[in-house]
A and B are shown apart, each in its own frame.
Chain A
Amino acid sequence: MHPADEELIARYVESGDEIAFRTLVERHQEKIFGYLMGMVRDRDVANDLFQETYVRVIRALAAERGSYSHQGKWINWVMRIARNAALDHLRSRKKWADVSSNGEDGPDYWDRLEDDHPGADSTLALSEDIECLKECIEQLSPEQREVLLLRHESELTFREIAELTNCSINTALGRMRYALLNLRQMMSDARASDQAAVSRLTQ
């Protein structure tokens, strides 16, 4: 039986148990690092942001020593700090504002898809092409990409995502829906492009 997050936090805050804190960091490392990695697409930067996240966490715990009031929401609390660190980084790189929004207010992407798309089945063959998938995720709008990362990497519920990103659950669900459909379309296009290039070479 593993100790709960709150028990590990209490050990660190009350007695300085660094082993407990390390256990806590390792327990959620994939959720937080996966989100950061998806946001910045650079391993070194993601490592820096991961460290920066926990520097802020430690600082906040020191400020709130003895009065930690985030019972049961440790990962949500850390994810909020990680998100702020990522947004600070993106703002400093002026990437966040340069990406055009393609949120739920835009045209329904699904309506523009052909039901009998010739490459639909073959697109699924790209499932093992991890690099292609990552490139497609990077091309998503920031809002869609963030919801997708928070759901798949950080394993947050849509309610938690809505709270974290200050939007409604419907908005979070809508962004997720567009993210899935757009990803599918982009991968299908990439597959079709590859096939066209191969056919040109063979002719």
Chain B
Amino acid sequence: MNKRLQIVNRLYEGNDASVDEIVNDDQSLRQEAKAAEEMKGILDSQPRARPDASVIDAITRHAAQEWQAAGKTISAPVRPLKSAAPHARIYMFRMAAAACAVFLVVAVGLWKIVPSDSTAPVLAEERAADVAAPLAKSFAEPTGRLQESDDEALRQIASASDSDALADSIPSWSDPDDLVQMRRRVQSLRRASTSLSWDDSAVPLEMMPVGGSTSGLQQASTTRNGNQ
């Protein structure tokens, strides 16, 4: 290769160090190398030109159209560039969480709303009827003030059974067994107090009638004498 060409090759490619010794030994070559290097520096300092951004946009649109025209549809990038992938995963996770939250809200709302519109009144009426029947039966023959209070309770229950408010008055968690136990207790109290009247004077316990060996109280002396 010509020595002068070697200078250019060394200047741009930098792969022939032996040229340096040749240039140093020859003044004309040294001057040429210096001039070429200075000129290269001037050229390198030139600003780089770029096309208009609209041209890049037009090329990108054309590329997409041509690919679609070839019979395929443009798909999402197979692998998003740079850090787009982590952002996409976070975005998808947030979207999934939001979708779950919305689904839960809608499900709970439907669970609350749908029964009150259709089945709730029916269930409430049935429940009120179940409750009112034994109570009405147990209070069929009331006496005195207790009879008045029982009648009032029955009226409240009966009126409540005609309205949706009954659903609120009877908790959904109530168990009819509790009501049965309460009814039995009321009946036992009624039996025990059938011979009493609200206007009678107070009676000592020892004067209470004794129907059996286990009911009522007896004087300790009589018990003791009897034993003796």
Contacts and interface: CB of A to CB of B under 8 A. Distances in A.
A197 B67 CA distance: 59
A16 B68 contact: yes
A16 B52 contact: no
Top 6 A-B residue pairs of the complex, sorted by shortest distance between their CB atoms: A16-B67, A16-B74, A173-B5, A18-B64, A30-B48, A127-B42
Contacts of B32: 110, 181
B75 A176 contact: no
B38 A124 contact: yes
B163 to A, nearest CB: 65
A152 B60 CA distance: 27
Contacts of A11: 77-79
A19 B47 CA distance: 27
Contacts of A34: 48-49
Contacts of A54: 59, 62-63
Interface residues of A, number: 54
A59 B48 contact: no
A130 B60 CA distance: 32
B44 interface: yes
Contact of B5 (A16, A17, A55, A174): A174
22 contacts: A12-B63, A18-B74, A22-B59, A29-B51, A30-B49, A33-B50, A33-B51, A34-B48, A51-B55, A55-B59, A55-B62, A58-B63, A124-B38, A128-B45, A152-B46, A158-B13, A170-B1, A177-B7, A177-B36, A180-B39, A184-B35, A184-B38
Interface string A14-45: 11111111110110011001100100000100
Given A59-B66, A173-B5, A23 B40 contact: no
Given A12-B63, A157-B13, A181-B35, 12 more contacts: A20-B77, A21-B63, A22-B56, A23-B81, A29-B56, A54-B63, A65-B70, A120-B35, A128-B45, A173-B9, A174-B5, A184-B38
Contacts of A79: none
B41 A127 contact: yes
Interface band, chain B: 35 or more
Interface of A: 3, 11-12, 14-23, 25-26, 29-30, 33-34, 37, 43, 46-47, 50-51, 54-55, 58-59, 62, 65, 110, 115, 120, 124, 127-128, 130, 133, 148, 151-153, 157-158, 170, 173-174, 176-177, 180-181, 183-184
A34 B44 CA distance: 12
Interface string B25-36: 000100110011
A25 B39 contact: no
A26 B35 CA distance: 34
A50 B51 contact: yes
Contacts of A115: 28, 31
B59 A170 contact: no
B45 A46 contact: no
A72 to B, nearest CB: 19
Given A51-B55, A51-B58, A58-B62, A18 B2 contact: no
Given A26-B56, A62-B70, A110-B32, A158 B12 contact: yes
Contacts of A62: 66-67, 70
A41 B62 CA distance: 26
B43 A148 contact: yes
